[in-house]
Amino acid sequence: MADKILKKLNIKVWRQKNAASKGKFETYTIENISTGSSFLEMMDILNNELIEKGIDPIAFDHDCREGICGTCSLYINGRPHGPDTEVTTCQLHMRKFKDGETITVEPWRAAAFPVIKDLVVDRTAFEKILQAGGFISVNTGGVPDANAIPVAYEDAEEAMDAAACIGCGACVAACKNSSAMLFVSAKVSHLAKLPQGKVEAKKRALNMVAKMDELGFGGCTNTGACEVECPKSISITNIARLNREYLGARLSK
């Protein structure tokens, strides 16, 4: 399929100088964008044009640009990572948009993710949650023999599925309550499902949830929006597991 050219697009984007300033939307026009280019390439082209005009380029997060690092964000046309499923913003292509369209680009919105500049938000809150328990501290020795510790196939699969989380924060951005439950449940699950992680499972669930609450994320009301918008399709059954782990840990304490 040959790439088409989008003759004209209006990019309505959130501009904010720094964390303290108020911020507002600006609309820029951009012409002749190939449908084969990625959304971030379009943003790069737009930024070049802005620089030539002497306007401060739009700040946005990006790193690997291949959907594995979790750095890119952007709330595009009302959806985190834009109008496509199972992709990050860096993997989103311009063929998903129509010629002449106005594309609204906003940062993740959550009390726990304050805007630093334009579309860049501070996601340190996720690091803090991980520091509260997203690790194992038992000594597992050197590299063990394969199959020395048997792990059931289903457990391994579920752990690997949960471990696919790249920590992008789209779940928080998608949630009407800005809840971080999908992220936390993925991080709790991928360890809780494996023998090495079981040792500290209870403490981990309690501490990570306590940290999540402390940082100002909202509570889960099971709308399921997070799973749909998650680029890695992390299942909300992980949230059920986190609820189970947490309630169990509370009861046995």
Partner 1 sequence: MSKFLAASIGRKFLMSITGLFLVAFIAVHLIINLMLIFDDSGELFNLAAHFMATNPVIKIMEPLLGLGFLIHILWSFYLEYQNWRARPVKYNKKDASTSSTWASRNMLVLGALVLVFLIIHIINFFWVIKFEPHTLDTVIIGGEEMEDTYTLVSNLFKGSVAYCIFYILGGLLLGFHLSHGFWSAFQTLGINNNHWMKRWHVLGYIYAVIVAVGFSVIPLYFLIKF
**Which of 40, 118, 229, 234 touches partner 1 (CB under 8 A)?**
229
Residues of this chain, 51-70, that bind partner 1 according to CB under 8 A: none
Any idea what DSSP says for residue 93? B
Any idea what DSSP says for residue 92? -
**Shortest Cβ 4–partner 1 spacing (Å):** 24
Residues of this chain, 222-251, that bind ligand SF4 according to CB under 6 A: 230-232, 234
Query: Does residue 32 bind ligand HEM (CB under 6 A)?
Result: no
| Residue from 205, 203, 207, 191 nearest 244 by CA | 205
| Residue from 247, 228, 113 nearest 180 by CA | 113
Query: Does residue 223 bind partner 1 (CB under 8 A)?
Result: yes
Query: Does residue 166 bind ligand SF4 (CB under 6 A)?
Result: yes
**Span from 11-19, 59-67, 136-144, 204-212 in contact with ligand FES (CB under 6 A):** 59-67
**Span from 52-60, 64-72, 110-118, 133-141 in contact with partner 1 (CB under 8 A):** 110-118
User: Using an 8 Å Cβ cutoff, are 76 and 11 in contact?
Assistant: no
Query: Does residue 204 bind ligand FES (CB under 6 A)?
Result: no
Can you spell out the DSSP letters for 68-81?
Answer: SS-----EETTEET
Can you spell out the DSSP letters for 159-222?
Answer: HHHHHT-----HHHHHSTT-B-HHHHHHHHHHHHTSHHHHTTHHHHHHHHHHHHHHTT-B----
Residues of this chain, 202-221, that bind partner 1 according to CB under 8 A: 209-210, 212-213, 216-221
Question: Any residues with CB less than 8 A from the CB of 24 and at least 6 apart, and which?
Answer: 14, 15, 16
CA distance 64 to 245: 34
| Interface with ligand FES (CB under 6 A) | 62-65, 67-72, 88-90
Interacting residue ranges for partner 1, rule: CB under 8 A: 12, 14, 25, 75, 77-79, 83, 104, 106, 109-112, 115, 174, 176-179, 181, 209-210, 212-213, 216-225, 228-229, 235-237, 239-248, 250
Q: Which residues bind ligand SF4 (CB under 6 A)?
A: 165-171, 182-183, 186, 230-232, 234
